[in-house]
Structure 1
């Protein structure tokens, strides 16, 4: 039960003095990295993964499966150029956003994974592999 309770582990020893100073001075840089939210539900014979990717188009999202690791990437680029009649910029704004998350899909039938993107939600169906039942056989005595 106690393993499920989050806690703040403090490693204040002499060897970690400079690492801890950097973390306390600059802040925890990993906490500020953007990530998209996901929900994973076990539906018996499959898992359902829902990833929130609002503002992205279907073409902005890529799914890669390699060596039992599923990577979801979403990248958005936007340029807003306004020029006058001479071709000079009046306003030029650029916006870029990129998100990436990886998931271990061992125990999943990789060939049967399906994905649908609708209204900012990417929904992946991840069918479980059928459990392998060890087979026994009779050995003839000769």
Structure 2
């Protein structure tokens, strides 16, 4: 019969020592998942930001805009419901959060739109129009 432990995850292995060390050094509240990946494209009159956030529900994602900085936060929360717990042979899924910030100076902040579909967050960031320098004649008194 085959073991249910994933390949390369044998108990009392060298990797378990590093996992235990990480858990002892950083409390669960301070551990974060690695930053999520994004693509930003220049589409002429706007930028398109696409962020990979697989496994999140739309309600788990927060977009916050303050002082020209857009912050994207996504959190996995463990539910407080107590279900009949079975004996885990391997448990790799954890709760945690992602957070990244982007400078959005030069963007029409009031016209930013967002959509989330199939694990990809898409933001349309409209550019501000070019500032045309004004000239005027100054009269000498």
- Equivalent residue number for residue 66 of structure 1: 66
**TM-score, with structure 1 as normaliser:** 0.66
Tell me how far apart the structure 1 counterparts of residues 51 and 86 of structure 2 sit (CA, whole Å).
38
Structure number having the greater strand percentage: 1
| Aligned counterparts, 1:1-142, within 5 A | 34-79=34-79, 81-83=82-84, 95-141=94-140
Tell me how far apart the structure 2 counterparts of residues 61 and 33 of structure 1 sit (CA, whole Å).
14
**TM-score, with structure 2 as normaliser:** 0.66
Other structure's SS at 1:111 match = helix
Q: Report the CA distance between 1:77 and its aligned residue.
A: 1.2
Alpha-carbon distance change, 90 to 54 in structure 1, aligned in 2, over 3 angstroms: closer
**Contact 1:82 1:90 (C-alpha < 8 Å) held by counterparts:** no
Q: Report the CA distance between 1:140 and its aligned residue.
A: 4.0
Aligned residues: 107
Q: Report the CA distance between 1:81 and its aligned residue.
A: 3.3
Q: Report the CA distance between 1:123 and its aligned residue.
A: 0.2
**Contact 2:33 2:98 (C-alpha < 8 Å) held by counterparts:** no
Higher RCO by CA contacts (8 Å cutoff, separation 6 or greater): 2
Other structure's SS at 2:94 match = strand
Tell me how far apart the structure 1 counterparts of residues 76 and 118 of structure 2 sit (CA, whole Å).
16
RMSD (CA atoms)? 2.6
**Contact 1:82 1:91 (C-alpha < 8 Å) held by counterparts:** no
Tell me how far apart the structure 2 counterparts of residues 33 and 111 of structure 1 sit (CA, whole Å).
30
Q: Which ranges in structure 1 are unaligned for 5 or more consecutive residues? A: 1-31, 84-88
